[in-house]
């Protein structure tokens, strides 16, 4: 009731990739309680965007794991990556 939703259309070209994630990815914290953040996530995505989907997911999760260095996870970390092949 309290939300307004907007319908939008997106046209994908062959090879386009959609990367979706929960806030637990960007809000993952290290021992200094600093967030992984969107900038770091975008850097990982950019670096591996040409890889296959499994590799993009794996490298993103690896990047988060290295950053948090064993610090306790406080939220879910969920990724969904889709690639349109035409």
Question: In this predicted model, what pLDDT tens digit does every residue of 42-84 receive, in sequence order?
Answer: 999 999 999 999 999 999 999 999 999 999 988 999 999 999 9
- Residue whose structure tokens are 């992984």: 36
Q: Residue 1 pLDDT > 90, yes or no? A: no
- Residue whose structure tokens are 């990556």: 81
Read off the pLDDT of each residue in 33-49 and give the average, rounded to a whole number.
Answer: 96
What is the predicted pLDDT for the residue at 77?
Answer: 96
Q: CA–CA separation, 15 vs 3, rounded Å? A: 33
What is the predicted pLDDT for the residue at 33?
Answer: 94
What is the predicted pLDDT for the residue at 58?
Answer: 97
Please tell me what DSSP assigns to residue 35: B
Average pLDDT, the chain: 95
Q: CA–CA separation, 86 vs 77, rounded Å? A: 29
What is the predicted pLDDT for the residue at 80?
Answer: 97
Residue 80: which region, alpha, beta or left (left: phi > 0; alpha: psi -120 to 50)?
A: beta
């Amino acid at each position: 009731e309290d939300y307004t939703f907007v319908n939008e259309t997106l046209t994908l070209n062959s090879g386009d990739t959609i990367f979706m994630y929960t806030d637990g990815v960007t809000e993952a914290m290290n021992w200094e309680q600093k967030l992984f953040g969107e900038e770091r996530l975008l850097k990982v995505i950019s670096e591996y965007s040409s890889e296959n989907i499994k590799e993009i997911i794996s490298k993103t999760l690896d990047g988060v794991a290295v950053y948090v260095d064993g610090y306790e996870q406080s939220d879910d970390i969920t990724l969904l990556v889709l690639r349109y092949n035409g």
